[in-house]
Each structure stands twice: as C-alpha cells, then as structure tokens.
Structure 1
Amino acid sequence: MKNKKLAQALAPVGVVAIVMMLVVPLPAGLLDVLIAVNITVSVLVLLTTMYIKKPLEFSIFPSLVLIATLFRLGLNVASTRLVLRDAYAGEVINAFGHFVVGGSLVIGLVIFMILVVIQFAVITNGAGRAAEVSARFTLDAMPGKQMAIDADLNAGLIDEHEARRRRAEVAAEADFHGAMDGASKFVKGDAIAGVVITIINLVGGFIIGMLQHGMSATESIETYAILTVGDGLVTQIPALLMSVATGLVVTRATAEADMGSAASAQLLQSRNALTIAGGAAVVMAIIPGIPKLPFIVVGAILLLLAQRVGAKEKQEATAEQTEAAGTALAPAPETTEQLLEQMQVHALEILLAPDLVDLVGGSADQDLLARVRALRRKTALEMGFVLPPVRTRDSLDLPTATYSVKMSGVEVGRGQAPAGRMLALGDGLDNLPGTLVHEPVFGLPGKWIPAELRHSAEMAGATVVDRTSVVITHLSSIVNQHAPRLLGREDVRVLNEGLKQHNPSVVEELVPGMLGLGEVQRVLQGLLAEQVPILDLGRIYEALSLRAKVATDPEGLVEAARVALGETIVDRNATDRVLRVLTIDPATEQILLEALRPGDAGTQLSLSPDRVESLLESVRAQVQAAEAGGKQVVLVCAPAIRPALRRITVLAVAHLAVLSYSEVSGTSLTIETVGVVGVGHAIAA
C-alpha cells in the first residue's frame, strides 16, 4: 500500500522538481547525479521499446517523452548557468568534453556537430514523420476495424464483452498514435533547443572567459569549447536515445514477439539470401587492395548460418511429411465440442459470391453489416422480437454476382447484385443498357445499370436502388415472411423474463400455471404469421390468462390475443385513419358458418372446390379493383370463421389481412366499405 502511494506521488513531485530546476541553481555534484539519472533512464526507455510486442504495451511513452524532454531542458539550463558563471559544470561534463576532444579541439567540435546533425536531421525528423503517418493511417483504419468487430459480433464469433474490449483497444491505439504525433514535436523542439543552448555556451562562454575571468582568447575558447562539447553530449546522447526509442515505437508493427526475437527469426528465414550475401562478402575479399580477413570472416559466418538454416528447413520438411503421413494413416480424433461446432446450424445466413464481398465494410450507409444491424433494430421495435444474429460469409459455390439467404441451413431466397452496378426500376428502362430482370421482392421489372448512369436513369423517370438496399429489402421480406420460424423457444423465454421484470403478476399467473412456454410460443408465432406485432406482450398475456381458464386450444388463444390487440391491428391496416374493408354478403357468410369443421390444425371450411374457387375469385377481383384505385383494403368477417377463412384467402391474395368484427368493433377510426365478396358474385359497394 505504501509503495502504491509512493508511486502515485513520484510523478507529480518529479515534474514539480523539474520545473524548479529551471529557476533554482544546482550545485555541480547534484548536477552530476541528475545527468547520470538522465542517461540511465534514456537507456532504459530505449531497451523497453525493443522488448515490447506492440506499441500499446508502452502506452505511457508519449507522456514519458514530454517529461524526459522537460528534464533535459532543466539540466541544460542548470549546466549553462554553471558553465557561464564558474567555467565548471561538474566532473561528468568535464570528462565527456575531454574524452571527445581528445587533444584536438577542431576534431572534437566536428564530432559533436556530426552527432547534432544525426540527431536533428536524421533521427528526429524521421521519427516525427513516421509518427505523423502512423497517426493518420491509424485514424483512417479505425472505422474499418470497428466494423470488423461488429461483423464478428453479429456473426456470433465473439461475445459482447470481447467486442467491448476490442473496441476499447482500437480507440486506445488511435489515441496512442495521436499522442505520439504530438510527442514527436517535443523531441524535435528539444533537438533545436539543444543546438541553440550549445551555441550560447560556446559564444557566451568565450566572451565571459575573456571579460570576467581574464583568460586569453586561446585559453577561453579551449576551456569553454570543452565544456560546451561535454554539456552538449550529456544532453544530446539521452535525446538521441529518446529519438531512437520514438522511432522504434512508431515504426513497430504488432508482432507476437519482441524486436530481437522477431528480427533474428525474420533475417534468418531465407537460406538463399544468406548464401548470396556470404558469397558476395567472399568475392569482395578478392578485389586487389581490400583487406581480405574482415570480408572472409563475415562471409564465412553468413555461409555457416545459411548451412544451418538449410539443415533446419530439411528437418522441418521431414517432420511435416512424417506428420502428414501419420495424419493420413491415423486421423486425429475430433472432440465432441468440435463436432458440435461443425453441426451447428445458423438461424439466418447471407451467402455472398466472392465478387460481392465488397458489400461488407463499405461506406457507413452502404455497409451490408451496418444495414443488417439496422434491420434487426427495426424488426425489434416494430414487431416486438429480436432477430437472431445474421451470419454473413462468402461462398465459392454461388455464381458470379449472386447472393443467397439461408434459414436454418435451407435456402429461402436468392438474388443478384452485380459489382459496380445499381438496379433501375419503373419507367424509362428502354434506353438504358442491360438485360431486363425482375426485382426479387415485388417482382418489378428492372435493369442493372452501371453506377455512373444513375443520374441519367433518374432523369428518365426510373427509380434507382443501390445493391445493398436490394439485398436488405430482400432479407427484410424474407424475415417478415418467415417471422414465426425465427421466434425460437429461447427468444420467448427472454421476452418472458423481460416482461416479468416490470409486470410480474401477469407472467406468474400465466406461465407456467396455465400455459407452458411452448404454448405461448405457438400463440406468438400465430400472431407473427399474420404480421401482428407482439410488442404489447402484457396485454397479450392478460388475454391469454382469461382464455386459458376456458380452453387452451392454440387457435382460440390466438384469436383471444388478436381481439386484445384489435386497435393495434386496425391501426396497422388503416390509411389516414380510414379503414377500408371488404365484407362478405350474408348468404355467403351463412354458408361459411355451416361449412365450419374442427380439425387438428384448427377449424377448416368444408366447401366444394367450385365454391372455394368462386370465393377466391371474388376476393381476388375486389382486392385488385381496390388496389387499382390506390386503396389498401382488409377483409372483415364473423369471428368464428376468421381463422379458417384466412387459410383459404392466403391462397389467392397472400398479403390480404383478414379481421374479425370483434377486432374492428372497438376502433375509433372511420370504417369505409369498398366492396362485398361472395360465392359466385362480387358486389361493388
């Protein structure tokens, strides 16, 4: 606990101390200690950057660069004060100066200037540019990485916890590279400041030595040049180390090993490269005038390494062949978990031909995965149940430009979405290039036209739809058509638990006392089969509780739930608060009531084929007449015959809603009768 508190206080105290160094004079002995700390910490930081596997493992590095830069500037100010005031700045600076100058002031200054050029013009500029490019590329790649995470989540490959962790890692990576871009500017500024301070020490010391200390010009320039070179080295060397560390961090790609292990593994991976390089070194030793021993030694080492790499490759190849032969003779047993994973059938899948994979990961409004997520949200908010995750993958078995929708492993829909094209629908198609096709949902005629002709097609009066919208519209139609199959027992349990949290009494009364989850599932599937939303689950449960006290037959339960949802059903089928209905003439309705028979799958109408065909023809004619006038209509009948009549009318007009008088009676909307249907005739209202 004490160590933790000490570590928390160390950073803020250290920063305050560094700031104080800029204004408080330091004795030469303390300056020696701080210079040693500066050099040692710089070496530690450089070595740490070489042992990390990915940049985020050293996420504190940008802040560390700023603190180290401020520390070096503080040491520069303190050493400059001592150099100009006392002509002495401690033993470390003095030793560095004499070591580099080595008896020749000119050579020492040249060496020092070379180090400054390397630091400023090569390392610092290169690291700054690399940091800037890394930050830009990381930010540009961020949306794609996030979409890839969402794709894995939708496909069920990862859970929500893993998705959140990956999103946080992507955001942290972007923040890190952005911070590194800023930190590189500190490194560059530190290099410039070091050069300016060096010039001040040299020129200012030369003048002060002659004016204040009474030195001769030669003695003054020699004394202050040694001190300047020493002072510059003790700050430029740590700055050079930090610049190299910065370059290593920003140029390091994510790897599975540290830099040393990765470098040795990758440099020694090619036997041919080692052989050619070793041979070249040996050949260079033959050139007249070139010393032979260094090149021969280097070439021999490379050739020896090439031989070892070749032997290792042969050994690995032999091991692979042995393993392959052993696998062929004795296949490895598969675990139960692996077999279960392979046996898993996904509830909903979209298969794409290889040339359609660009639909995934496109722009935000055209990305197929993003549109699938929007469809799942829309279905949940409109129909009251959550679609299972939609798995999206490519398939080599599909023809070019083809996509397929599978449900529980069985294909339920197929269409085309050619790359680089858009679907033009409606009028004005004659002058457009392409073969006439039919839109998969509504069967409208259309043509796949090049994307650049979109404006021309719209000017000609056609409606132009992008490829992603075609796929999503088709998927939405399939979802609506097969909604009952997509509502599983586990989904009902989740809905049941959700309702129990805010309306526990109605759940406890119905489940499991009166009905089991399986019976509730059949009722909800019956409602979804006729596009009745199950959002108001509380009202549905209340109606089922009342009905279950009398009988628990599925058809009766569904009809009780429909009556409870009457206002919702009427509202979904009304236009401008007007419900336009088709009624059944009394004689026909009486015939239907007398023909009603119970059955295992619910009530049935026992009618002769002629009467059934006559009734369907009458319904079909009335619906077509109403739709030709732009009216959406529903068929209204007696409650007793509604389920059986719905099973028959769906054969003629699949989208026609059949309502009972009980469902319509409580509505506040205006009811307009637009036609009467019957056996053998159709009467217009």
Structure 2
Amino acid sequence: MKKTDLAIGLYLLAAIIFLIVPIPSVLLDILLALNISLALIVLFNALFTKEVLNMASFPTILLFTTIFRISLNVSSTRLILTTGEPGNVVETFGGFVGGGDPIVGIIVFIILILVQFMVINKGSERVAEVTARFTLDAMPGKQMAIDADLNTGAITDTQARERREKIQEESGFFGSMDGATKYVKGDAVAGLIITVINFAGGIAMGVIRQGIPMAEAFNKYTILTIGDGLVSQIPSLLISLATGILVTKVSKEADFGDLLVKQLFSIPKVLYMVGGSLIFLGIVTPLSALVFCTYGVVFIICGRVIAGRIEVDDIEEQASMDEISGDEIRKPENVVSLLQVDPIELEFGYGIIPLADVNQGGDLLDRVVLIRRQIALELGCVVPMIRLRDNIQLNPNQYVIKIKGIPVSEGEILFDHYMAMNPGFVEEEITGIPTFEPSFHLPAIWITENQRERAESVGYTVVDPPSIIATHLTEIIRGHIHELLTRQDVQNLINNVQEANPTLITELVPKLLSVGEIQKVLQNLLKEGISIRDLITIFETLADYAATTRDTDVLTEYARQSLKRAISSKYFPASETTSVVTLDPKIEQEIMGSVKQTEQGAYLALDPDKTQNIIHSVEEEIQKLENIGKNPIVITSPIVRMYFKKLTQDYFKDLIVISYNEIESNVELQSVGMVTV
C-alpha cells in the first residue's frame, strides 16, 4: 500500500473514530492545529494554482475536510459539556478574540457567521451553479471549434484529443463543484447549531452538575463556546474562501497575485486620476490632509514609474521581435518547412474572409467539416485536412482550389448576391449578371436578395455564396480523391478492418499484396467514383484472386464485379429502365487484339485512325443520351472494360463504362445506340 493511500485512509478513519470515542484535550489541540493548517494549505493552493483543473480533486478534498472538522467539533463539544476544559486552542481563541468579554466575543462571532453565510457561501454557491450551467451549455460549441481547427490543420489529432478530454474534465469538475458548495453551506449550518448547543448545554451542565453560579457559568461557557465556534468556523471560512476563488478563477496564464497586480496597477492614467482625487479630498475637505495627500502623491509616483516601465518594455519587445525575426530568417532549417505541401488548399481573397470567420457569422469552416463527412460516407475515404487561407494577391471575391500545391480550379463570387440557375423549366426569365456555375460550368446569373423569392417562385435554383464554394470544393475533391489516397491512409484503413477481421488481413497483407498494390486498386476504384467503403468485400476479392495475378488493373476489375450491387444501385435505378450505349463486338475484338503485355502492365497499341473513329462514334452515341437527359453510360464485355475506359478517359471525363458482370440481374436496360466504325 502506498504511503499516501495509508495517510488518507487514516485521516478518514480518525474522523469516524472521533465522532464516537472521547479524546483528551492535548490531542484535540494537536488536531485542531492540523485542521487549521490543512485549511490554509487548501486556500493558498486555490489562490496560486494557474488552472482550476490542477485542483480537480477539490470536491473530494472539501468532503474529507468537512467530515474531519465536524468530528473535531463533536469532540470539543463533548469535552466542554463533560469537563469544561476543551484544551488550550479552544480557550485561547475564546479569550483572545473576545478580549475576555463574552459580549464582545458573541458580537465578533455573529459577524463572522454573517460574513460566511451571506457573502462567501451564498456567492460561491451561485457562481458554482452558473459556471456549471454555462460550462455544460458551451460544450457543443467548444467541440465544434476543436473539429474546425482539426479540419483546417491548425491542430493535430493528439492535440484535438487532449482538448476534448480537457473539456470533459472541466464539465465534470464544475458539475461536482456545484454540488460540493452544498457541503460548505451545510457545514456552516451544522457549526452554528453545535455552537448554540454548546452555549445552552454548557451553562446547564455548569449550574446543575457542577454547582457553579449562573453568572460565572455564563462567562465561562460563553467564552468556551465562542472559542469552539471560532476554531471550527475559521477553517470552514478558509475552505469557503478557497471554494469561491476556484469557481471564480478565470485566468490560466499566471499566478493570481501577478494577475491581480497587473490588472489593477497597469494603466498609469488610472493611478494619476486616483492620486489627484485623493489630493483634492485632502485639501478641500476636512479629511486628514497628511494621510490623503500622502496616498495621492504615492499613486502619482507609481503611475509615472509604471508609464516609464511600459515604454521600456515596448522598446525591448520591438527590438526582441526584430531580432527573433532576423534569426528565424537566417535559420537554415526554415527552408525545410517550405517544402511541405498541403494536400488540399482553399485560398481566397480578403473579401471572402467573412465567410470563413466565425466571429463574423461565417460558416465555411462548418461546411468543410460536413464535406469531409459527406465524402467519407459516399466514397468510404477519409479526406485529408483542408487548409483554408487568405491570399491578398487574389481578387477580393476570388478563390482558388489547390491539390498538392497546384491550382486545379478557381471561382469568383459576388457578396450580397445569389446565384440563380435555370434547370430547364423556368416559367419566366429574370434579369441578372451573367456568369457560370464553377462546379459544372453551367450558365447562371447573379441576382440580389430582393430577387431571390421571385426567382425561386418561377423555377430557378438559387444558392448562396458559401454553398457555391462548398459545392465546388466537394466536386474537386471527388474528382481528385484518388490522388489524395496515400499509402499511410491505406494502412490506416487496413488497421481498421483488421480489428474485426484479423484473419483476412493476415492472409492478404503482406503475403499476397503489398500496401502499395492495394493502394493502386483502391485508387482505380475511386478514380471512377466507386465507393471503397465496403473494404471487407474488396479485400476478400483481392485475397481470392491475388494468388493468380498481381496486375492491379485486373484485380480492380475483379473488385468491381464483387461490388456490382453497389454499382448497379448507383447507376441503374430499380424502378425504371436505364438507357445505355453498347459496344460493337468487332471493336471489342480489335481492342483486345491491340493489347500488349509488359512487365509494367498492359497497354493499348491501337492504330491512331481507328482510335479517332472510335472516339468519334462514342461522341455521337453519348450525345443521344445527353439529348434525352440521361447519363452517358457505355456497356462492354468484362475483358474489354478497363481498356476501353483507358482509351476514352482523356476525351470524355464523365463517361461511365460498365461491364455486363457489374450489373445486377434485375436491372432493366435499353440500348439507344452502339459504338461502331
């Protein structure tokens, strides 16, 4: 058993024993001195601790000291009533504080009780209640702020976890303090009742049992009762004061003493005004001129000294900052920090800053959090941290989206305007500033707030500037998510699957495939918009076929076929017939005949003229689908699908190529054309 555990156990055990077993007055003196010492230790710890959580165990300490103090109060009461000699500490407190006069002692004791009840206890109880309520109410906002900082890269995962734990600890601490203040109030009430009992019981015992005259009994037991009350109420007052200090402590940066002096005596003009006021009162009024004028001169001198110190500190701080800036520039390791590239960046002009500033009502940070959640649910991939930063080199209302430091798209918004898009069935056109929607490059117009309601009523789709930026950013991430999937990300996904499926991962990695090869398969799926959320199915398929081939393109096709339910539900609604385009078998044979196998993988060696004819035919056929408002989908045989996709991906970015093996049997298809030459 630890020594500290033993000491705490004995402390509590002694408190219980003293409630039952009589103790001699000498031992009571020692324990009362110990009780006062502990109360002072608690008070000064509460005063000088830099953060309230450094005394997170204060509610428990409060309970321990309360029960110990009550047990001593009971022991002293027993000695007062039985022997009339409770010891040196009680007698000294009663005689010294009251000056040997019971009336003076009673008045001092009543004042002490009033201060504790009406000022400290009541105020501490109310502050603890309000603090606990506000701390609990502020928890969701603090959690959202941590998520926003985490998503923008301002803090790491470890720092975010530490902040969340700290928020939980603070809420638990202030909730406990709200209840612990009831101990302080109850302790004071119990001490007052015990004091009344001592007073009445002591006089009765002195007159009836000891035969002391009434006046002598009144003097003796009044002094002893006041001494006993003060011995118990003073430590109680100290603990109450410590409670009030803890629940009102707001600074986490410095000791309370330094903070108090700094806040009261840091503004010279305040001291000048106070000094002048005191000198005026000392000269004009009958107040003591010596005292008031002396104080006034002292405050004016202090103000001048502080003003000079502030000027020196400002000069030293400026010089220090210049020196630090120069040292930072000269450090060779600072070049290394310039080599780091953020996966995703959103840079914007100074006019867009209000959209990202929470203090100005901007919700762009919250939208970034929702984007990461949306992509995770939709594609099963964790989006890296999205860095948001302002760039004064951009136009005020311009923004640029960068992937790995390279701009890939940009846009421009108009503040106090809304973007209205015609979905094709608008009843009446409205006037506005012509523009293009940045995500899909659709024609649109900028309209004012006054036009918004009318535009929506006639059929326009109306969106606000933050939604435009968020949608644009989402589409860019979707289109480049395969580039952002690193080996470390794949390893994290593997670790998540391994927790519930250790056998599968043990068989697959690294015996059959490396992390890099699995990364290539997942990148191929994400590149064509296929969700990798069902990792167990993907990994089991890879484990089935990796023994026969390690070609990541071929393994991707097997994974796609195992995900045919997800692919079918994405592209082929169950309640309707989907229009598609098929591929001429002759073209399929030509493509397969042009496939060349190398150690680095397979590639197409198709004649350029035939390639152009195929591309021209694809363009004509998908135009038919677009004319009837359908997605451009081409159906091929399984063996040809990946080669045909590679052939057309540079020409048709949004073309969907699906093999027959990736379609559920209950899907209804209708061919509206065939790619042929």
TM superposition score normalised by structure 1: 0.80
- The amino acid of 2:572's aligned partner reads A
Superposition pairs for residues 381-396 of structure 1, below 5 Å?
382-383=379-380, 385-393=381-389
SS of the residue 2:2 aligns to: helix
Determine whether 1:98 maps to 2:101.
no
Report the Cα offset of residue 429 of structure 1.
9.5
The equivalent position to 1:17 in structure 2, one of 14, 26, 41, is: 14
Determine whether 1:408 maps to 2:404.
yes
- The amino acid of 2:341's aligned partner reads V
Distance 1:601 1:416 in 2: 43
Superposition pairs for residues 367-446 of structure 1, below 5 Å?
367-379=366-378, 382-383=379-380, 385-393=381-389, 405-409=401-405, 410-414=407-411, 441=439, 443=442
Distance 1:471 1:404 in 2: 10
Percent identity among equivalent residues? 32
Q: CA, structure 1 residues 56+463, in 2 after alignment: closer, same or farther (shift >3 Å)?
A: same
Q: CA, structure 1 residues 660+361, in 2 after alignment: closer, same or farther (shift >3 Å)?
A: farther
Give the corresponding residue for 1:51: 48
Is the CA contact (8 Å cut-off) linking 1:284 and 1:295 kept in structure 2?
Answer: yes
Q: Deviations for 1:115-158, whole angstroms, at most 9, x for unmatched residues?
A: 11111111111121221222222222222322333333334444
Give the corresponding residue for 1:683: none
Give the corresponding residue for 1:356: 355
Distance 2:585 2:169 in 1: 75
SS of the residue 1:673 aligns to: strand
Distance 1:560 1:193 in 2: 79
Q: CA, structure 1 residues 219+254, in 2 after alignment: closer, same or farther (shift >3 Å)?
A: same
Q: CA, structure 1 residues 440+302, in 2 after alignment: closer, same or farther (shift >3 Å)?
A: same
Give the corresponding residue for 1:677: 674
Q: CA, structure 1 residues 332+648, in 2 after alignment: closer, same or farther (shift >3 Å)?
A: closer
- The amino acid of 2:356's aligned partner reads V
Report the Cα offset of residue 245 of structure 1.
0.9
SS of the residue 1:345 aligns to: coil
Is the CA contact (8 Å cut-off) linking 2:50 and 2:253 kept in structure 1?
Answer: yes
Determine whether 1:531 maps to 2:534.
no
- The amino acid of 1:487's aligned partner reads L
Is the CA contact (8 Å cut-off) linking 2:91 and 2:224 kept in structure 1?
Answer: yes
Superposition pairs for residues 233-244 of structure 1, below 5 Å?
233-244=230-241
- The amino acid of 1:166's aligned partner reads R
Report the Cα offset of residue 658 of structure 1.
1.5
Q: CA, structure 1 residues 400+236, in 2 after alignment: closer, same or farther (shift >3 Å)?
A: farther
Is the CA contact (8 Å cut-off) linking 1:642 and 1:660 kept in structure 2?
Answer: yes
- The amino acid of 2:90's aligned partner reads I
Distance 1:393 1:506 in 2: 41
Q: CA, structure 1 residues 489+36, in 2 after alignment: closer, same or farther (shift >3 Å)?
A: closer
Is the CA contact (8 Å cut-off) linking 1:388 and 1:486 kept in structure 2?
Answer: yes
Determine whether 1:195 maps to 2:211.
no
The equivalent position to 2:335 in structure 1, one of 322, 332, 339, is: 339
Is the CA contact (8 Å cut-off) linking 2:433 and 2:446 kept in structure 1?
Answer: yes
Report the Cα offset of residue 42 of structure 1.
0.9
Distance 2:143 2:272 in 1: 44
Q: CA, structure 1 residues 538+341, in 2 after alignment: closer, same or farther (shift >3 Å)?
A: farther
- The amino acid of 1:618's aligned partner reads E
SS of the residue 1:141 aligns to: helix
Report the Cα offset of residue 55 of structure 1.
0.9
Give the corresponding residue for 1:167: 164
Is the CA contact (8 Å cut-off) linking 1:135 and 1:174 kept in structure 2?
Answer: yes
Determine whether 1:606 maps to 2:605.
no
Distance 2:103 2:265 in 1: 43
Is the CA contact (8 Å cut-off) linking 1:360 and 1:368 kept in structure 2?
Answer: no
SS of the residue 1:368 aligns to: helix
The equivalent position to 1:73 in structure 2, one of 70, 74, 78, is: 70
- The amino acid of 1:348's aligned partner reads I
- The amino acid of 2:541's aligned partner reads R
Report the Cα offset of residue 526 of structure 1.
3.6
Is the CA contact (8 Å cut-off) linking 1:580 and 1:634 kept in structure 2?
Answer: no
Give the corresponding residue for 2:183: 186
Question: Paired residues, what number?
Answer: 657
Report the Cα offset of residue 167 of structure 1.
1.9
- The amino acid of 1:182's aligned partner reads G
Give the corresponding residue for 1:483: 481
Q: CA, structure 1 residues 185+589, in 2 after alignment: closer, same or farther (shift >3 Å)?
A: same
Is the CA contact (8 Å cut-off) linking 1:581 and 1:636 kept in structure 2?
Answer: no
SS of the residue 1:606 aligns to: helix
Report the Cα offset of residue 592 of structure 1.
7.2
SS of the residue 1:22 aligns to: helix
Is the CA contact (8 Å cut-off) linking 1:616 and 1:649 kept in structure 2?
Answer: no
Determine whether 1:35 maps to 2:32.
yes
Distance 2:98 2:525 in 1: 93
Determine whether 1:7 maps to 2:9.
no
RMSD across aligned positions (CA): 4.6
Is the CA contact (8 Å cut-off) linking 2:356 and 2:364 kept in structure 1?
Answer: no
Determine whether 1:124 maps to 2:121.
yes
Report the Cα offset of residue 561 of structure 1.
6.1
- The amino acid of 1:525's aligned partner reads Q
Q: CA, structure 1 residues 159+558, in 2 after alignment: closer, same or farther (shift >3 Å)?
A: same
Distance 1:676 1:278 in 2: 96
Gaps of 5+ in 1: 681-685
TM superposition score normalised by structure 2: 0.81
SS of the residue 1:53 aligns to: coil
Report the Cα offset of residue 102 of structure 1.
1.6
SS of the residue 1:576 aligns to: coil
Distance 1:91 1:423 in 2: 89
Distance 2:201 2:458 in 1: 81
